[in-house]
């Protein structure tokens, strides 16, 4: 199978589409900015690789000073460990014999840490890791208001004790992801609510310490709360992911990081004066957080997607100058779900392709 990949040096206008473009200067600056902010706040960075799904970007984050990475799924972790990444925290629960076996198979090559919220899962992990003769790290997930996964503070103390006494497991600490607050538009609300959520985490860490168990890791934060959570005493690390590329939705929250990602498409039909059709559709751009913003031609808007087509409204004379074969650049509202649709990033510097970057963990949601 040929992938028809362009050669380095190809100008943007000549790239085959639809494809994801990453402005390398901007993404690299985002990595450096989070790392330096974390240093100033006295916390570590353990970036979430569910955003990039790519060892290339994970290596850049580690080279900049990250202490390890987060993965959402065992399948993502497998890709990262195979690429030589040696510090991997899975921030979701790993349930069932076959997934646990896959998790443990990674332990000889990498320090694996996994989130738990339930005692039967702790038992299952302990039995399997002792049988396999390996040790894995465990963090207890707290529900800090997102109402997704995670236990309450009292439950966390019970689980911490169970983990610290369980053969094959090492109690590494706590995690409390404030996902319900990261995209709150109003800074003062975001700050006040995040501080309340983080108080649950730091209070629970104290309860566990009072029970005589040490809590080395206290992990939290998404992009929108990095500078609030990072300043809370007792938080040891940030698990932000989206800061790397930002996206249309996060661009509405703040401009601390710069959007670096776009989807490039080509006009394939031009039957009406005020409309064009491009070769990008729901199979190459996600819309779970709303329609993308068209960056060029400026003023154009998305009318409708189908699987492989998008109808674009051209409001004025300037935008109507676009012809069949011309390029249209759009910024997706949600980066993570758009990235998962593609096999490669086309890394751009100075208007030209510098690197074709595989998205090796795309689709690895098992």
Ligand X SMILES: Cc1ncc(COP(=O)(O)O)c(C=O)c1O
Instruction: Report d(CA 316, CA 330) in Å as an integer.
Output: 18
Binding of ligand X by 77 (CB under 6 A): no
What is the smallest separation between the CB atom of 365 and ligand X, expressed in angstroms?
Answer: 13
H or E segment to which residue 187 belongs: helix 187-210
If the CB atoms of residues 155 and 179 are measured against ligand X, the closer one turns out to be 179
Beta bridge partners of 112: 88
Binding of ligand X by 241 (CB under 6 A): yes
If the CB atoms of residues 241 and 347 are measured against ligand X, the closer one turns out to be 241
Binding of ligand X by 242 (CB under 6 A): yes
If the CB atoms of residues 168 and 241 are measured against ligand X, the closer one turns out to be 241
Contact 253, 231 (CB under 8 A): no
Binding of ligand X by 222 (CB under 6 A): yes
Binding of ligand X by 44 (CB under 6 A): no
Binding of ligand X by 240 (CB under 6 A): yes
CA proximity to 141, closest of 127, 153, 123, 129: 153
Collapsed DSSP state (helix, strand, coil) of residue 74: helix
Q: How big is the site for ligand X, counted in residues (CB under 6 A)? A: 13
Binding of ligand X by 61 (CB under 6 A): no
- Establish whether the linkage from the previous residue to 297 is cis, with ω within 30° of 0: yes
CA proximity to 141, closest of 201, 75, 198: 201
Q: Which residue has the tokens 């590329």?
A: 245
Binding of ligand X by 179 (CB under 6 A): yes
Binding of ligand X by 177 (CB under 6 A): yes
Q: What tokens appear for 325 in the block?
A: 């074969």
Binding of ligand X by 150 (CB under 6 A): no
If the CB atoms of residues 242 and 284 are measured against ligand X, the closer one turns out to be 242
Instruction: Name the residues that contact ligand X, by CB under 6 A.
Output: 48, 51, 91, 177, 179, 182, 222-223, 239-243
């Amino acid at each position: 199978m040929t992938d028809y990949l362009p050669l380095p040096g190809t100008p943007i206008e000549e790239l085959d589409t639809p494809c994801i473009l990453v402005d390398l200067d901007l993404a690299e600056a985002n990595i450096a900015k989070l790392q330096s902010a974390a240093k100033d706040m006295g916390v570590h960075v353990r970036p979430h690789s569910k955003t990039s799904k790519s060892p290339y970007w994970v290596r850049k984050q580690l080279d900049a000073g990250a202490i390890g990475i987060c993965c959402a799924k065992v399948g993502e972790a497998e890709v990262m460990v195979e690429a030589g990444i040696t510090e991997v925290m899975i921030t979701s629960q790993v349930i069932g014999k076959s997934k646990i076996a896959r998790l443990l198979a990674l332990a000889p090559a990498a320090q694996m840490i996994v989130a738990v919220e339930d005692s039967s899962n702790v038992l299952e992990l302990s039995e399997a890791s002792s049988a396999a003769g390996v040790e894995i790290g465990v963090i207890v997930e707290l529900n800090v208001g997102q109402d997704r996964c995670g236990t309450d503070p009292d439950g966390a103390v019970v689980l911490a004790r169970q983990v610290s006494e369980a053969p094959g497991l090492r109690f590494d600490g706590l995690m409390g992801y404030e996902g319900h607050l990261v995209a709150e538009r109003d800074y003062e609300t975001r700050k006040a609510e995040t501080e309340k959520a983080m108080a649950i985490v730091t209070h629970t860490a104290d309860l566990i310490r009072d029970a005589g168990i040490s809590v080395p890791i206290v992990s939290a934060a998404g992009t929108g709360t990095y500078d609030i959570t990072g300043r809370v005493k007792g938080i040891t690390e940030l698990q932000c992911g989206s800061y790397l590329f930002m996206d249309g939705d996060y661009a509405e929250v703040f401009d601390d990081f710069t959007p670096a990602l776009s989807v490039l498409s080509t006009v394939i039909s031009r039957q009406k004066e005020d409309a064009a059709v491009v070769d990008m559709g729901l199979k190459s751009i996600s819309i779970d957080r709303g329609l993308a913003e068209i960056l060029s031609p400026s003023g154009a808007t998305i009318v409708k997607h189908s699987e492989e087509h998008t109808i674009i409204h051209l409001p004025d004379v300037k935008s109507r100058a676009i012809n069949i074969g011309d390029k249209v650049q759009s910024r997706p509202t949600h980066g993570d779900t758009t990235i998962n649709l593609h096999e490669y990033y086309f890394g751009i510097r100075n208007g030209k392709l510098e690197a074709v970057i595989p998205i090796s963990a795309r689709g690895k949601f098992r």
